[in-house]
Structure 1
Amino acid sequence: MLVGGTSEAKPATPDIQELADLVKPQIEQKENKSYPTFKAVEYKTQVVAGTNYFIKVDVGQGEYMHLRVLQPLPHLKEQPSLSDYQTGKKESDPLNYF
């Protein structure tokens, strides 16, 4: 991994699913739709002033979404937040920085 770059993609863990679930309501509000399926598939990390998590999420019917979630440094005592997301992704789309 390059300094400031993202890690290699890894299979999603229960902790990553928890992060995705935490920001799901924000995405549903922005997209004005609900996602009955919202399963984290894989993720990458990037160390910044905290950690950026890039998460590929299966939203059902062959569609995927990429999320960027910022986990602030622990001493700030702040919740993770949705920084950005991309819709209209496919399973084969690589999870890249955005």
Structure 2
Amino acid sequence: MTSKMMTGGLSEAKSATPEIQELVDEIKPTFEGKNNKKYEEFKAVSYKSQVVAGVMYYVKVCLGNDEYAHLKIYRPLPHTEKPIELVDFQMGKTEDDEVTYF
């Protein structure tokens, strides 16, 4: 198996980086608004990415108290000057749940 990222294909799971945490921090208010709930902990654990017209990130986030969510975050290409977007999310995940395409 190759670890090269293909356009349209989902990458292998990687540990979250400071860049991924910044994405998650930026999208946190939107996520909290959609859930009508504030989270003290909002820590990116791991992620996969998909190259589209920009990059789609699938990020596992620890919400505290053994509660996890998977976030689908879209980062448009820089020249578009569009903001990142929380496309979708899945609640009720565990630390062991693999982040997959959704």
CA RMSD of aligned residues (A): 1.0
Query: What is the aligned-residue identity percentage?
Result: 55
In the alignment, structure 2 segments of 5+ residues that lack a partner are none
TM-score by length of 2: 0.92
Name the structure 2 match of 1:56. Answer: 60
In the alignment, structure 1 segments of 5+ residues that lack a partner are none
TM-score by length of 1: 0.96
How many angstroms does 1:84 deviate by?
0.5
Q: What do residues 12-51 of structure 1 show as CA deviations (whole Å, max 9, x unaligned)?
A: 0010000001111011111111000000000110001110
Question: Any runs of at least 4 consecutive aligned residues in structure 1 with deviations exceeding 4 A, and if so which?
Answer: none
1:34 equivalenced with 2:32 (yes/no): no
AA partner of residue 66 (structure 1)? H
Q: What do residues 34-90 of structure 1 show as CA deviations (whole Å, max 9, x unaligned)?
A: 000000000110001110011000001101000010000111011111000111100
Cα separation, 2, equivalents of 1:62 and 1:95: 16
Name the structure 1 match of 2:101. Answer: 97
Q: How many residues align?
A: 98
